[in-house]
Amino acid sequence: MKKGAMIGKGMSAEVYEWGDHQVLKLYYDQYQPEWIRGEAEIGMALKEAGVPAPSVYEMVEEGGRRGLLYERVPGASMLTMMQTSPTRSIKHAREMARLHFSIHRCSTTKLPRQKDILEQSIHEAKEILGEKTGLICEYLYKLPEGNWICHGDFHPDNILVTNNKSIAIDWTNANIGDPMCDVARTSIIFLSPFNSSGTPKIMTLPLRLIKRILNRAYLNEYCRLANIRYESINAWILPVAAARLQEKIPGEQEWLLNLIDKRLRVTSS
């Protein structure tokens, strides 16, 4: 079988049609077989734990590049649906929370530890953080542990909506730990000042307001479902913001540093 039309493209791979029921995630040349096998193992661990995620099949080679075959999930990304039907965006934000909560009810021991990933990312941002690096890591060590499955990069463009059901995709950052950390990252993604290239400047302020509204709808629904207070999520903003610095998202650095400085002042008072 040969790959069909390209249906997606990301930082690590391109995604192509592969028959009627599968897709081929074809990785760029710099990704070694060990890394790809690691992603396959993540997919199998998720299925074993009952997580609503696409099934992963086998590793294949196509055109001199390596890839993984995944279950094909028909549908549109939630981000696309938010953009095409703005009046339904709050409904989608609440659905995001319900999907996220269902993921967090699953557990395993077969994924990387959340705190290990955060600590590594924080140290990778040491040139930006300077002497704050040690303080943030000390704070991180005091936060809760857990074996709950976390997506690691849960946002509307990593959710497919099909037949009135949602399913999360792109699990390369999956980990186990405290779900509140995972929710904090999603909240930061919602509130990020980053806008895609080509966004008119006149839309900057309206988009900021829309993002805040969607973030609040998502957080309120998650807190309701999990029966928690927002403070449990807010406690994770400091290390999550620090870890995100190393991703070097355009327009985020100053904003993240302000978040970090505010949280450090609170923790030291």
User: Residue 158's closest CA among 55, 4, 2, 8?
Assistant: 8
pLDDT at 130: 96
- pLDDT above 80: residue 264: yes
Residue 193 gets which letter from DSSP?
-
- pLDDT above 90: residue 177: yes
Same domain, yes or no, for 162 and 241?
yes
Same domain, yes or no, for 29 and 137?
no
- pLDDT above 90: residue 8: no
Residue 130 gets which letter from DSSP?
T
Q: How far is CA 114 from the centre of its chain?
A: 13
Same domain, yes or no, for 118 and 40?
no
Same domain, yes or no, for 146 and 167?
yes
User: Two tokens at 28?
Assistant: 């760029």
The pLDDT of 222-239, averaged and rounded, is 97
User: Two tokens at 92?
Assistant: 């989608």
- pLDDT above 80: residue 34: yes
The alpha carbon dihedral of 242, 248, 252, 258 has a sign of positive
Same domain, yes or no, for 100 and 159?
yes
pLDDT at 105: 97
- pLDDT above 80: residue 193: yes
Same domain, yes or no, for 62 and 82?
no
Lowest mean pLDDT among 37-41, 42-46, 150-154, 203-207: 203-207
Confidence of residue 9 (pLDDT cuts 50, 70, 90): confident
Mark which of 53, 71, 89 sits at the end of a domain: 71
pLDDT at 196: 80
Q: Is residue 1 part of a domain?
A: no
Give the three-class secondary structure for 145: coil
The string of DSSP codes covering 82-118 is HHH-GGGHHHHHHHHHHHHHHHHT-B-SSS-BHHHHH
Q: Is residue 139 part of a domain?
A: yes
Side-by-side strand order, sheet with 6-9: 6-9, 13-18, 22-27, 65-71, 56-62
Same domain, yes or no, for 121 and 17?
no
Same domain, yes or no, for 173 and 65?
no
> Which secondary structure element, helix H or strand E, spans residue 162, and what is its range?
strand 159-162
Number of domains composing the chain: 2
- pLDDT above 80: residue 22: yes
- pLDDT above 80: residue 122: yes
- pLDDT above 90: residue 184: yes
CB 53 within 8 A of CB 99: no
Confidence of residue 164 (pLDDT cuts 50, 70, 90): confident
What value does the mean pLDDT of the chain take? 94
Same domain, yes or no, for 28 and 91?
no
Confidence of residue 197 (pLDDT cuts 50, 70, 90): confident
The pLDDT of 38-60, averaged and rounded, is 94
Residue 21's domain comprises: 6-71
Instruction: Give me the percent of the chain exceeding a pLDDT of 90.
Output: 86
Q: Is residue 91 part of a domain?
A: yes
Side-by-side strand order, sheet with 159-162: 76-77, 159-162, 165-168
Q: Is residue 230 part of a domain?
A: yes
Nearest-5° angle of CA 246, CA 217, CA 99?
A: 75
Same domain, yes or no, for 94 and 61?
no
Q: Is residue 64 part of a domain?
A: yes
Mark which of 55, 71, 87 sits at the end of a domain: 71
Same domain, yes or no, for 56 and 162?
no
CATH number at residue 151: 3.90.1200.10
pLDDT at 189: 97
CATH number at residue 14: 3.30.200.20
What type of residue sits at position 1? M
Nearest-5° angle of CA 233, CA 192, CA 9?
A: 110
Same domain, yes or no, for 20 and 119?
no
pLDDT at 88: 94
Residues 6 or more apart from 215 whose CB is under 8 A from it? Answer: 93, 187, 190, 191
Report how far residue 155's alpha carbon sits from residue 79's, in angstroms, rounded to the nearest whole number.
8
pLDDT digits (tens, 9 = 90+) for 72-109: 998 899 999 999 998 999 999 999 999 999 999 999 99
pTM (predicted TM-score):
0.93
